[in-house]
Amino acid sequence: MARIPYPDIDLPAYRPMADRVRKERAGWVGNIHKLIMYSPQVFDGYMHFLTAIRQQAALDGRYRELAIMMVAAINDADYEFNAHAPFALKAGVTQSQIDALRRCERAPDLAPADRAVIDFTEESTRNVRVSDACFSWLRRHFDERDIVELTLTIGCYNMVSRFLEAMHVDHDYPTT
């Protein structure tokens, strides 16, 4: 159970925010969105930022989802991991690769660029600072824009996973 109650999103103060989420998230208002609605200004920034990361960035969805899944696994954020598994599958990540990520491992069939993303994500999430060797490995596979967007994705989903876990947000993601 969440540490604070979810607001009634049908109340006038929350309805416009709930409608925005429904429009941008295929009709679904997640519990994480509900809690963030307690701060309308932060909610607005959160929605703009996550929409840019998930829907407007040039970074290939496969790399984005590999990073998000690794962040979630490291931070033991089941909500985030389970919510993103369908997106990862849709982006071409296999079930065996997802299963390995859940254990913070690398599946043997990962391409070198996939491994670079996962290594960079792990170092950034666990250590904050990334070694020169890890960055050089990433740089061999990605251009400046991809690296910036990947780094922002990692930071963003570290924030999301920490919010989910600190607030004990209940799992409510769609299962179909």
**How sure is the predictor about 56, in pLDDT bands with cuts at 50, 70 and 90?**
very high
| 33, 55, 115, 124, 139 from 25: Cα distances, Å | 11, 11, 29, 28, 33
| 45, 77, 149, 170 from 67: Cα distances, Å | 22, 13, 11, 22
Whole-number average pLDDT of the chain = 95
pLDDT digits (tens, 9 = 90+) for 89-138: 999 999 999 999 999 999 999 999 999 999 999 999 999 999 999 999 99
Q: What is the CA radius of gyration of the chain?
A: 17
For the residues 36-55, what does the mean pLDDT come to?
96
**How sure is the predictor about 172, in pLDDT bands with cuts at 50, 70 and 90?**
confident
For the residues 56-73, what does the mean pLDDT come to?
98
* % of the chain with per-residue pLDDT over 70: 98
Tokens of 139: 């740089």
What single letter denotes the amino acid at residue 81?
F
The answer on pLDDT for 27 being more than 90 is no
The pLDDT, as a whole number, for residue 175 is 55
Q: Which domains does the chain carry?
A: 15-56 (no CATH), 61-166 (1.20.1290.10)
